[in-house]
Chains A and B, each alone.
Chain A
């Protein structure tokens, strides 16, 4: 079964450092997303991406965050200058065009755990 692959599975970084989290979505999917889950809290939407541009972003997704699809297969999330509060599990997801009912079903990766010290 096709899956979304994320790397690294765990990254530890110092506050102020840049971090890039990588995702390989399912190959024929067109919509891409990043979510995050701070330990013990809900899964929060960060950004959606379609047709090589951001479709929507949340309040969390400030100027420190950026996304890119550099080569047609990878989908990256960059945090320019990490803060302690960026420590979380980051989930990438992708989805196909809407199914016959009009719903997008997201397939999630296993997540990248970011720890900022």
Chain B
């Protein structure tokens, strides 16, 4: 089974500073990788996804992530943090279930705090 590991359950950055949320995956086949965001009292919203092609993928709200196969990483970045970015971020990997259909496995999440 595939899995993802998120380093750091809590990350604090100053408003305007670089955001870097780390994610490493384990996979025996080329993975599909995702970042989801969960704002307080809300559901999970897709930020971006990597499937094939360009390894640098851009998502909503100025976030981007780079798939690095050699490092088995898919770190999430944003050049300048906004207060509205405060949320919990989940890295996820997609693999086939026993029925041949894809299911998503989530990391443990990283809570991002943005300090004014």
Contact = CB atoms under 8 A, between A and B. Distances in A.
B97 interface: yes
A20 to B, nearest CB: 19
A2 interface: no
A103 B99 contact: no
B99 A102 contact: no
A102 B32 CA distance: 9
Interface stretch (A65-73, A74-82, A108-116): A108-116
Interface in A19-55: 31, 33, 35, 41-45, 48, 50, 55
**Size bracket of the A interface:** 20 to 34
A110 B43 contact: yes
19 contacts: A31-B102, A35-B106, A42-B106, A43-B44, A43-B90, A48-B99, A50-B99, A55-B99, A55-B103, A93-B104, A99-B51, A101-B53, A102-B32, A102-B52, A103-B51, A104-B102, A105-B34, A107-B46, A108-B45
A103 B102 contact: yes
Interface in B89-116: 90, 94, 97-99, 101-109
B28 interface: no
Given A55-B101, A102-B51, A103-B32, A42 B43 contact: no
User: Which of A43, A93, A102 has most B Cβ within 10 Å?
Assistant: A43
B81 to A, nearest CB: 23
B44 A108 contact: yes
Contact of B108 (A42, A93, A110): A42
Contacts of B36: 108
B61 interface: no
